[in-house]
Amino acid sequence: MQNVETPQEGHADLPDIPRSALRTLQGRIDYLRALLDLERPLRIVDVGANPVNVPDYAELLAIGACEVWGFEPEPEAFAALKAQAGANTHVIQRAIGKTGKGKFYPHRSTGLGSTLKMDAASVSYLGRPGWHANQGEGTEIDLIALDDMPTGELPRPDLLKIDIQGGELDVLESAQETLSEAIAVITEVRFAQMYADEPMWAEIDLELRHQGFVLHKMAAVKSIPVGNSMRAQMVSAHFRSQMLDGDAVYIRDPREMDDWTGDQVRQLAIAAAGVFNSYDLVIACLDHLVTRGEIAAQAPADFFNKLPKWMTKAA
């Protein structure tokens, strides 16, 4: 669990992605990369890179437009991540948090293991009373802050993605230097408590704002039925009234874009186009580069014209 593995590069296949989707994305990204004259791919650090879910950056990675450093401490999840790692992917078996000793509580449901214990009352209310069972006393692990990673092992990322079931705030609070030049953070946020003493969305929002980021969008929100006496007879799709968690996209405060480097503006355009699908933000970045005199005045319109016709009034 606390074993350290030097970043590796693999060449296994990525999760299946429709060829048509890749071609469509690649056309836009190739245009942007040529326009912006980028010297390197978008750098993404993924904390909790358990391959149980396909990450939002999968298509960008498949076309070679980003480079990923994925952290996963669980042995089985790490082995699966390493097995499917493709080019431009580095996998690291470390547990990220505040540097020091901690405990890890495994869970029978893949992806629900955490450095925090399930809260019995909370998961019972959520209709999952068995989720807190058989967690035991946990396994001792070594945690390391992103700011304490050895020199040369991790570059400063453009985008940080976190999904570690309640430990997100610890990662953020101990990554201020690492995030000092980042342009986006995608983090899981909780609306209804699952783990004992876990930070809620409000606390994560305050920390990210303290570090100069603002909420841009919710990439996904999950809601579930609460536990009740009629639960077994309910069609779940009609009773998902309790917000549980979601993936929140934060970007560096765009009101201060005049103070950014040109590379930060460029990398945000790539992230917005290839990771979290905010095409209006892409065009805003291009507009800003036009005002700096760094790209041609026609570039925002040229990019807009590459979007699907159903997205425009011309349709």
* pLDDT value at 315 more than 70: no
* pLDDT value at 209 more than 50: yes
For 221-244, what is each residue's pLDDT tens digit?
A: 999 999 999 989 999 889 999 999
Supply the pTM of this predicted model.
0.91
pLDDT at 10: 35
Q: Fill in the amino acid letter for 10.
A: G
The answer to whether the beta carbons of residues 45 and 162 sit under 8 Å apart is no
Q: How far apart are CA 59 and CA 55, in angstroms?
A: 9
Q: How many helices (H) and strands (E) in the chain?
A: 9, 10
Helix, strand, or coil (residue 91): strand
Give the closest residue to 189 by CA, choosing from 108, 117, 246: 246
Rg (CA), the chain: 20
**Can you list the domains of the chain with their CATH numbers?**
19-311 (3.40.50.150)
Average pLDDT, the chain: 90
User: If you average pLDDT over residues 67-86, what whole number do you get?
Assistant: 90
* pLDDT value at 13 more than 60: no
For 234-277, what is each residue's pLDDT tens digit?
A: 998 899 999 999 999 999 999 999 999 999 999 999 999 999 99
pLDDT at 22: 63
Q: How far apart are CA 150 and CA 147, in angstroms?
A: 9
